[in-house]
Structure 1
Amino acid sequence: MGCNLSPSAPRLIVFAGHSGTGKSTLAKKALPLIIEKTGEAFFLLDKDTVFGAYSAHVMELTTNNPNDRDSPYFLKNLRDWEYSGIVDIARENLMLGVNIILDAPFSSEIKSGKMFSPAALGIPTNTIIRLAWIDLIENEAKRRIENRANARDEWKLAHWEQYRVRRTEPPENPSLFRFDNLNFDTKKFERLVDCLTN
C-alpha cells in the first residue's frame, strides 16, 4: 500500500473589520461553505471567545470595570497581548497542518501588512493566507452595536468620537477581499467564499 501523499499547504482565513460589522456571524456562516469548497477541516478561533472572559477579569482587577475593553488603558496593556496570543494558537495549529479561520478586527495588523506575511506571523511559509474585510458604514455599525447590548461595548459607545478615529481603511492586497455587509447578498457572499478558498 502506497503512503506517498504529501500534505497540502495549511490555510489561514481571516474575517476582519471594525466592531459591529458582523465578522463573527459571517465567519460562522462561511465555515460550512469553506469546508464544502475545500473538502478540508477548519478550526474557528474567535478572539472574544478565547480571551474575552480573561481580559474582562484583568480589567476588573486593574480598573474596577470588566467592560473597559476599548479604553486607552486596555489598548496599552492588553490589546496587543490578546492578538499575539490568538496568532500563537493559530501558529501552533498551522504547524500541525490544521487549517484556521480567525475572527477578530486585526485592523492594526492588516494596516501594517503583518497579516499578509507568513514570515511576519511566524507561521509556515507555505501557508495560504486569505482575508475577508467586512465593511459596514459607521452609523449602521453603531446602531448594530447598540442593538446587541453587549457590556463589552460600553466604553466605545460612551466615547464614540474617540473610538471612531480607529475605523481605518485596509490597504489593498491581492489576498484581501472586501464584503459590504449593509444588506446581506447571498450571491456576493458565495463569491467571497470562492475568493477565500482559491
Structure 2
Amino acid sequence: MARIRPDWNPDLLRMQREEIGLTLEDTGEKLREIAERHGFNIAANFQTIWSHEKGSVYPGPHYRRAYCRLYHRNEAQLGFRKALPGEEAPMESTAAPASTQRRLPNQPDAVHQALRSIREGTDDVDSELLRNRVLNAWRHGAAASSTDGPVVILVGGYAGSGKSEFAKFLGGLTSWPILDKDSLTRPLVDQLLVALGGEAHDRSSALYRDKVRPFEYRCLMEAAWDNLDCGISTILDAPFIAEFAQADWMQRFQNRCRSKRVSVAPIWVECDPESMREYIEFRGAARDAWKMESWDEYISGLDLKMRPQGPHFVVDNRLGAAVALVDEARDVLSGGGL
C-alpha cells in the first residue's frame, strides 16, 4: 500500500498511459500480450490497472515488469521506486513532447545494455572479454569458433536475487545449455530427504546441508563436465553460496578448468533483501516456506556483502534493475513494442 511505500507515486503510471492515448481496456490487452510473450504471470484487466493507478494496490513484480515493457520506461520513471545511481529518474513534466518519447533501441544496443550489467568483481577479470564471448555466440551461434576453448559461466546468488532470470537471458542469447540445479536434482533430492527421515521441501536443516546438498552439487558439476569435455560452453544456475565462499573450492575448480582449456566466469548476482523477499513470496515455492515463515531469522543469516573468493564478476540487480534491462533486450529481440 502507498502508506508503507513512501517512494511510490502511482500518478506517474496513469500519466504514462494517458500520454500515449491508451484506455484502461487497451492497456489490459497490451499487458496480457506482453505477459504471453515474456512468460509473466498476470491477468490484467481494467479494474486491476485502475487499482494500480489509484494507488490502492501496489503492482507485483511481473506487473511492474510488464508496465516497463509497455511504456518503455524503468521502474523509477513509472513511479514505483526511487532511481538507483546513474538510472534515469521520473520526468518532471506531466506530458513529454512526442519527440522525447522513448523508443525501443535496436537489437545490438539492447543486448549491449543488458550485458553491461556484468562488471568486474575483482581486478583480475575482464568483463569486456566475457561480453564479447557472449556477443560472438549470439551473432554467430553457439558453435562459434574460439581459440580459447569453451567457457563455463557459474551464475550464483541468494534466493530471489534474479540469478535464474539472468542465466536464462545468457542462455537465450548464446544457445549454450543451462544446467539449473533444481531442475536437475529436485525430484531426487525431495525423495532422498524423505528416505532419510526429513521433509521433501526442507532446504534449511542440517540433514539437507550435510547429507544431501553435497551430492546435489556433485550431480550439477558432473553434468557440467560432460558438456565441457565435449567442448560445449555451459551456464550453471545455482546459489553456489558455500562454493563461492571457499577459496580452496574456487581454486580447485579454476585449476581443473585451466587444465582442460576451459575459461571460467563466476557471476555473483547482488540484490536487496526487500526485492528478494518479494520474488520469493511471489513464486510461492514449497521449498521457500521456511524462509517466508522465519524471514527475519533467514535474512539475518545471509552475508549481504558476500562476494565470491577469487576472480569473479558481479551483476547489480538491486530493485530488479538488471532484470529490467534483460526484459528490454528480450522485447527488442522478439520484435515487441506497441
TM-score of the two chains, using structure 1 as the length reference: 0.77
| Counterpart code for 1:88 | E
Give the alignment partner of residue 59 of structure 1, picking from 178, 190, 193. 193
**Cα deviations across residues 23-74 of structure 1 (Å, max 9, x unaligned)?**
11111122233x2xxxxx5111000000011111112233352111222221
Question: Secondary structure of the residue that 2:208 maps to in structure 1?
Answer: helix
Q: How does 1:143-158 map to 2 (within 5 A)?
A: 143-158=278-293
* Residue 187 to residue 145, structure 1, CA distance change in 2 (3 Å): closer
Moved more, 161-170 or 93-102: 161-170
Q: 1:180 to 1:189 in 2, by over 3 A?
A: same
Aligned match of 1:49: 183
1:106 matched to 2:240: yes
Q: Which amino acid aligns with 2:224?
A: A
Equivalent-residue separation in structure 2 for 1:102 and 1:73 (angstroms):
24
- Cα gap change, 1:12/1:6 in structure 2, threshold over 3 Å: closer, same or farther? closer
Distance change in 2, residues 1:18/1:60 (3 Å): same
In 2, Cα distance between the equivalents of 1:162 and 1:48? 24
| Paired residue total | 179
- Between structures 1 and 2, the one with greater strand share: 1
Tell me the CA shift for residue 10 of structure 1: 1.5
Residue 184 of structure 1 corresponds to which residue in structure 2? 321
Q: Based on CA coordinates, which of the two structures has the bigger radius of gyration?
A: 2
Q: Which has the higher contact order (CA 8 A, sep 6+)?
A: 1
Structure 2: unaligned runs, 5 residues or longer: 1-144, 328-338
* SS at structure 1 position matched to 2:160: coil
Output the amino acid matched with 1:68.
Answer: D
1:130–1:117: structure 2 CA closer, same or farther, 3 Å change rule? farther
Report the residue type matching 2:320 in the other structure: N
1:10 aligned to which of 137, 150, 158: 150
CA contact (8 A) 2:162 2:269 kept: yes
What residue in structure 1 maps to residue 262 of structure 2? Answer: 127
CA distance in 1, matches of 2:289, 2:162: 18
Q: Which residue of 1 aligns with 2:18?
A: none
Q: Is the 8 A contact 1:132 1:177 kept in 2?
A: yes
Matches within 5 A, 1:21-32: 21-32=161-172
The one of 206, 212, 234 equivalent to 1:72 is 206
Three-state SS of the structure 2 residue aligned to 1:110 is: helix
Q: TM-score, normalised by structure 2?
A: 0.47
State the distance in 1 between where 2:183 and 2:324 align. 29
One-letter identity of the residue aligned with 2:312: S
Deviation at 1:96? 1.6
Q: Is the 8 A contact 2:268 2:308 kept in 1?
A: no
8 Å contact kept, 1:110–1:116: no
Aligned mates of 2:207, 2:245 — CA distance in 1: 22
Alpha-carbon offset, residue 87 of structure 1: 0.8
RMSD: 2.7
Shift of 1:171: 3.8
